[in-house]
Structure 1
Amino acid sequence: MALPKAEDVLVAPNFGIQIDGVMIEYLNSVNGLQVEQDVIKYQQNQGTTGRSNVTLMPGVGKDGQVDIERGASQSDAFTQWIKDSLDGNMGVARKNATIILMDYEDNPVKRWNLRNAWCSKIVMSTLKAGDTSPVTETVTIVFEDLVIE
């Protein structure tokens, strides 16, 4: 019997971030993007046999965080979002963000929608005299809910 035909594995030649539906920046890297939810363990006895029956059910989805790396001289809109977040201006800073994975022709392939996202941390790359490496920022984005499309 022949094995079923395997689909091509996704590669990530290009990916970016949208804020409130507007593409604002292409990214160097995305790390730690995950979805998690509680597991409810429900145990009961079965009828006359008295045997224990255990059922696992989905519980409440958990919030999360993701680290993204971008070039330090990139989008002013993204920089303003970071500033609003770190200044505690949550009325403006909480936004819906989407990380988009694109194929080699820049067509969207997969989306991770982050609901009520805001920036909680920024780390600059090492600055060293005479170094020719690009300056990057790693930004930690926290979110309340993650939906994968």
Structure 2
Amino acid sequence: MADDGSAQTQAIWPLPKFHFQVKWDDTEVAFQEVSGLDIETEAIEYRAGNSKTFSKIKMPGMVKTSNITMKKGVFVKDNALWDWFAEVKMNTIKRKALTISLLDQEGNPTMVWKVQNAFPVKISGTDLKADGNEVAVETVEIAHEGFTIENA
């Protein structure tokens, strides 16, 4: 008998990526897209002078994270990103904790990225076209000092 899907558990299906939320401090901000949740370890190559093999060994080095890029619609009198960016001065920016959560169908967090010491490094305003029919979207690029991942 074929499985009609009525008895399947949530563990069978991967989560869709379209239901998420972003919070900085205690404020929730509606973004349309979040990318750049990357982390990698640089490989260090080493060979001792008295090694009997004629090749290098590799070991883990420093951890490197990429900037997080987020896109959101432009709303009337919503200057929160621009105000935060305006606070940037030489080494005196107010860093914020970001929480990015992937939500299940009930709106509960299932996978949570907790970003430490985030601050904006680039903001791009929307492009303007007289014959366009799209929503105005602005982009912010966030630098940070790493993140942790929690699964609910």
TM-score normalised by the shorter chain: which range applies?
A: 0.7 to 0.9
Instruction: Quote the Cα distance in structure 2 between the aligned partners of 1:26 and 1:80.
Output: 12
The residue aligned with 1:96 is: 97
* Unpaired segments ≥5 residues, structure 1: 1-5
Q: Is the 8 A contact 1:13 1:104 kept in 2?
A: no
The residue aligned with 1:73 is: 75
The residue aligned with 1:8 is: 13
Q: Is the 8 A contact 2:97 2:116 kept in 1?
A: yes
Tell me, what secondary structure is at the counterpart of 1:127?
coil
The residue aligned with 1:64 is: 66
Q: Is the strand fraction higher in 1 or 2? A: 1
Aligned pair in 2 of structure 1 residues 44, 83: CA closer, same or farther (>3 Å)?
same
Q: Is the 8 A contact 2:72 2:138 kept in 1?
A: yes
TM-score normalised by the chain length of structure 1 = 0.74
Alignment of 1:25-36 (within 5 A): 25-36=29-40
- Percent identity, please: 29
Instruction: Quote the Cα distance in structure 1 between the aligned partners of 2:12 and 2:56.
Output: 36
What root-mean-square deviation, in Å, do the aligned CA atoms of Structure 1 and Structure 2 show? 2.9
Tell me, what secondary structure is at the counterpart of 1:40?
strand
How far off its partner does 1:117 sit? 0.8
The residue aligned with 1:3 is: none
TM-score normalised by the chain length of structure 2 = 0.72
What do the CA deviations read for 1:101-121 (whole angstroms, capped 9, x no partner)?
112221111122221111111
* Unpaired segments ≥5 residues, structure 2: 1-10
Instruction: Quote the Cα distance in structure 1 between the aligned partners of 2:133 and 2:114.
Output: 35
The residue aligned with 1:114 is: 115
